[in-house]
Structure 1
C-alpha cells in the first residue's frame, strides 16, 4: 500500500512551523502579558517539551501497531487547541496548560507519522529516509521563528491555522497504514540500544533549549541590537547545513558527525556568552545553528544501527523524547541560572552540556547491541 509521504511531510512541517513560531513569540509574550522574567519565559518555552517527551514513545508504540493515521490527526487537533489556548489564556497557569496540550500534539504528529513513512521503506533505506523526513520537524522548528517575526501580532492565529492545516492534510488522505506489529508491553517500551544515542541528543538539546529560550533575552539585556533577527540567523544556518550536510552521516557515520558538529556548538555557545557586539553575536548564532543541524540524523543513524531497525516507531520516539527532555530542562534551568548569575553564565552552562555530549560520544561502544 502506498504511503502519502509528501502529504505527511507537509503536514508535519505545518505543525512544527506553528511550534517554532510560538517559540519566537513566547520570550516577549510572557513578560508583556503576564509579567515575570527569564524564569517564567524559560518555563513557558520548556514545559511543552515535557508533554512531547512523554507522548513520543506512546505515539510510536501505537504507530508500530498500525494506528498512525488517527494519532497523526489527533496531533494536529491538539496542537491547534494548544495554540488557541495560548492566545486566549487569562493567566500564566492557563498558558502553561495550553503549552502542555500543544506539546502533546506535536509529539503525536511527528512520532506517529515517521513509522507510517518507514513502514513503506526497505530496511536498508530507513536511516536516510528518517533523516530526510526529520527535516519536516526540524525545518519547521528552524523556520517557525522567522515566520513568527514576519506575522507579528498575528502570530497566535498563524499558530492555530498551521496546526489545523496539518490535521486537515492527514484527514483528507484516503490511505491508512493498516495493522502493523502487535503492541508490545509497556514495560518493554524502551528498546535496548536507544538510551546512549538518547543521552547524546538530550545533552545537545539542552544547548538548543538555551538558545530557544534565552538568546533573544540575552541579546536584549546586553543591548547588542540583533535580537529581532538572531533566531532567523540560527534557522538559516541550521537549514543550509542540514540540507547540504546530511550525506556526511552516511559517509562518516553518526558518531563522527555528531562529535564534530557538537564541538562547533560549544564554540558557538561560548561566543554568545562573551559577545559584546552585533557582529560577534551574529557569527556565534550562525555557528550555533551549524553545530546542531546534523545531530538528529546522526542520532537516527546510531539508534537504528544499535536496534538493528526493529520497532522503528518506538525507537525513534524514545530517542527523540530525550531531545524534548533536554529542551524542557534548559528552559527553566537556564532561566534560573540567568536570573541568579546572568545570561552569560547560562550560556556557559549550555556549553558545558555540549562538552558532556562529546564525552559520551567518545565513550560510546561502536558495536551495535541486540534489541529486546
Structure 2
C-alpha cells in the first residue's frame, strides 16, 4: 500500500512539474512588471493593472479550447503548445525591456507579451491534472488538483522574488532570457513523457456551454476567493512602495509558503469533510487575512495577513474543484476543469483594473478592505450552497 501510494505521488509530481515550469515563467516578471510600468514607463496604476490583467483575459479565452484538446487529443498536446508560447513570451519580454526608453512601444510589446503568456497559461492550466487522472483514476482527483496548485503557486512564490533579485542585481533583460530558457526546457521535458491516454466510455455529449453552467456555482465562489490572491499578487509591491516599505515581493513568498504548507498538511481534509465545508472555512480565513492587512498598517502584520490569506485560499480551488467535476461524466472532465478554471481567470482578469480603479480613486489603503469584502461574499455564497444542499436532502 505504501509503495502504491509512493508511486501515485511520484506520477502526479511528474505531471505537475510541467505546471511548475509554466508558472515559474509567469512568476519571474509578476512582481517587477507593475513597478516597471508605473515607474520606468511612467503610466498610472490603472494602466499597470490593465496590462497585467491582459494575461488572464487570454487565459480565459483559451480554457475551453484547451479543455477540448485534452478531451480529444490528450493533455500532452496542450502542454507542448503552452511551453512554446511561454518561450515566445520570453522573446517579446526581452524586447519590452530593450525598448524601455520608448514607453509606448515598450507598453505595446508588453501587451502582446501578456497575451502570449496568457495563452500559455490557458493551455497548461488543468492539463497536467487531467494527465494524472487519465492514468491514475478519479479517486486521486483531490490530490492531483492540490499538487497542481502547489506547483503553480510554489512556482510563483519562487519566481517573483527571483525576478526582483535579477532586476536589482543583473538586469531586466535577464528575465526575458531566463523565460525563454525555461520555456524551451519545458517543451523538451514534456516531449520525453509518454502521451498516456485512457479510452473512456462516452455517454451523451454535452456542449462546453452546458458544462460551464453546471460548474458555475462553484466557479463563482472561486472567482470571489481569487480576488484576494489577485490583490496581493498584482498590487502588493506597489502597496509596499506607497508606504516606503522594503521587500514587497516577500509577501508573495510568504503567501506561497503558507499556501503550499496548507495543502501538504491538510491534503486529506477534502476527502474527509467534503469540498463545500472546506471551502467555507478557507474563505473565512482568507477574508480574515485580508482584513488584517487592511486594518493594521504595518509591514510585519501585512506579512501575517499574507500568510493567513495564503492559508485560506490554498484549499479553495481543490475543494470546489472536486465538487465541480462531480457534476459531469468522466469523458467531460477536461472540459469541466477548463470551465471551472475560467472563473479564476475572470477573477484575476478583473482584479487588475478593478483594484487599480479602487487605488486610483480611493487610495492604496482601500485595496485590502475592498478585497476582504469580496472574499466574504464568496464565503456567504458557499454557505448558501451548503444550506441548499442540506435542504434538498431533507
Q: Same fold (TM over 0.5)?
A: yes
Q: Cα offset for 1:173?
A: 2.6
Query: Structure 1, residues 203-251: CA drift from partner, whole Å, max 9, x if none?
Result: 1111111111111111210223342422222222212112212222122
For structure 2, the 5+ residue unaligned runs are 1-7, 97-104
Query: Structure 1 segments of 4 or more deviating over 4 A?
Result: 2-6, 178-189
1:135 corresponds, among 127, 150, 174, to: 150
Q: Cα offset for 1:55?
A: 0.9
Q: What is the aligned partner in structure 2 of residue 313 from structure 1?
A: 334
1:18 corresponds, among 20, 25, 31, to: 25
Verify the 8 A CA contact 1:47 1:99 in the aligned structure 2: yes
After superposing the two structures, state which structure 1 stretch, 318-327 or 183-192, moved more. Answer: 183-192
**Structure 2 CA distance for aligned equivalents of residues 250 and 300 of structure 1:** 12
Q: What is the aligned partner in structure 1 of residue 138 from structure 2?
A: 123
Q: Cα offset for 1:178?
A: 7.4
**Structure 2 CA distance for aligned equivalents of residues 212 and 34 of structure 1:** 20
2:43 corresponds, among 15, 18, 36, to: 36
1:65 equivalent to 2:57? Answer no
Distance change in 2, residues 1:65/1:179 (3 Å): farther
**Structure 1 CA distance for aligned equivalents of residues 133 and 249 of structure 2:** 38
1:163 equivalent to 2:183? Answer yes
1:348-367 alignment, distance < 5 Å? 348-364=369-385, 365-366=388-389
Query: Structure 1, residues 166-224: CA drift from partner, whole Å, max 9, x if none?
Result: 21111223445376677956554625530011001111111111111111111210223
Structure 2 residue matching 1:338: 3-state secondary structure = helix
Verify the 8 A CA contact 2:286 2:311 in the aligned structure 1: yes
Verify the 8 A CA contact 1:24 1:145 in the aligned structure 2: yes
Structure 1 residue matching 2:32: 3-state secondary structure = helix
**Structure 1 CA distance for aligned equivalents of residues 374 and 70 of structure 2:** 32
Query: Structure 1, residues 120-159: CA drift from partner, whole Å, max 9, x if none?
Result: 1223333333332333223223332133234333333222
**Structure 1 CA distance for aligned equivalents of residues 194 and 281 of structure 2:** 43
Distance change in 2, residues 1:137/1:349 (3 Å): same
1:222 equivalent to 2:243? Answer yes
Verify the 8 A CA contact 1:67 1:179 in the aligned structure 2: no
Q: What is the aligned partner in structure 1 of residue 94 from structure 2?
A: 87
Q: What is the aligned partner in structure 2 of residue 190 from structure 1?
A: 211
1:263 equivalent to 2:284? Answer yes
After superposing the two structures, state which structure 1 stretch, 243-252 or 126-135, moved more. Answer: 126-135
1:151 corresponds, among 139, 148, 166, to: 166
Name which one, 1 or 2, has greater alpha-carbon Rg: 2
**Structure 2 CA distance for aligned equivalents of residues 177 and 122 of structure 1:** 11
**Structure 2 CA distance for aligned equivalents of residues 332 and 117 of structure 1:** 35
Structure 2 residue matching 1:18: 3-state secondary structure = helix
**Structure 1 CA distance for aligned equivalents of residues 140 and 248 of structure 2:** 40
Distance change in 2, residues 1:316/1:82 (3 Å): same
TM-score for the superposition, normalised by structure 1: 0.90
Q: Cα offset for 1:99?
A: 0.2
**Structure 1 CA distance for aligned equivalents of residues 200 and 165 of structure 2:** 42
After superposing the two structures, state which structure 1 stretch, 146-155 or 286-295, moved more. Answer: 146-155
Q: What is the aligned partner in structure 2 of residue 47 from structure 1?
A: 54
Distance change in 2, residues 1:311/1:272 (3 Å): same
**Structure 1 CA distance for aligned equivalents of residues 138 and 310 of structure 2:** 30
2:302 corresponds, among 259, 265, 281, to: 281
1:212 equivalent to 2:219? Answer no
**Structure 2 CA distance for aligned equivalents of residues 263 and 6 of structure 1:** 30
Distance change in 2, residues 1:267/1:4 (3 Å): closer
**Structure 2 CA distance for aligned equivalents of residues 283 and 251 of structure 1:** 28
Distance change in 2, residues 1:113/1:228 (3 Å): closer
Q: What is the aligned partner in structure 1 of residue 15 from structure 2?
A: 8
**Structure 2 CA distance for aligned equivalents of residues 274 and 87 of structure 1:** 39
Q: What is the aligned partner in structure 2 of residue 332 from structure 1?
A: 353
CA RMSD, aligned part only?
A: 2.6
For structure 1, the 5+ residue unaligned runs are none
Structure 2 residue matching 1:223: 3-state secondary structure = coil
